[in-house]
Amino acid sequence: MKTRFDTYVNPQRPWYRTAPFYIVLAVLAIFLVVVLIAQFTGRDSASEQASGQSAASAPASDDPDAELKALIERREADDPRAIGEVDAPLVMVEWTDLRCPFCGLFSREILPTLKEEYVDTGKVRIEFRDVVYFGDRSASASAAARAAAKQDKYVDYLRAIYARAPESGHPELPDEELVEVAEEIGVPDMERFKADMKDPDLLAEVQEETAQARQLGVQGVPFFAVGSSVLAGTQPLDNFRAFLDQAIEEAS
């Protein structure tokens, strides 16, 4: 899919700097809030643990992308919306819409190889952020995926949805099909799933994550980021390999 990010972006040029000026301001504002919160919450314990904090903060100061990574990476143990070790050297974040045909193409043709070569070998962790770029049915599908996540079936659910995706156009994904997919992958408690997929709190989570993606300058899906280095669109496998290999080399 063609977006202004549809070429391999040089890591020397952070992707958030290519966004319109008001988006950059929004990102900087978020960073400022994070910094202020860190300062205020750390003030009470600073005098008691000064030496420990100095040692702990040193590695973060060496990473120019530390604040951005803290914003886009979750790094949560047992996160159902991720694959790979929680302490893997790198996290690649994917923004995806369940009705996106190119996201489906990535899931079917690229992701299995990346999992084998980078995730299973402990080099990379992949975290998924399902967002809404194609209307209300996308929101419903994301809520259903998060309902599956509550029963540790999120990744299976995405894989099954994308296995059905057409090569072009956006599938409708009515509620009946969303339930059918859950049954297909063996979600243990279907009654709970049906209730959760209609939970307004899950829909609110989807909308919040979508708003954050747009603030960061993510204008289309699929979109991938490792810190400030990005890749947009479903590109050839070798492009993903080069993207991750370069990030690994820089991290080491």
Instruction: Kindly report, residue by residue over 20-47, the tens digit of the pLDDT.
Output: 434 433 444 444 444 334 443 444 444 3
Query: Where are the chain's structural domains?
Result: 64-251
Q: Which tokens is 238 given? A: 């070798």
The residue type of 7 is: T
Q: Exposed, middle or buried by CB within 10 Å (0-12, 13-18, 19+), for 126?
A: buried
Cβ–Cβ under 8 Å, residues 131 and 95: yes
In this predicted structure, what is the pLDDT of residue 192? 98
Q: Is-cis flag, bond preceding 222, omega within 30?
A: yes
Which residues in the chain come in under a pLDDT of 70?
1-61
Per-residue confidence (pLDDT) for residue 62, from 0 to 100? 76
What is the token pair recorded at 192?
């709970």
Domain boundaries 64-251, CATH class: alpha beta
Query: Within 13 Å and on the Cβ side, how many CA atoms surround 112?
Result: 8
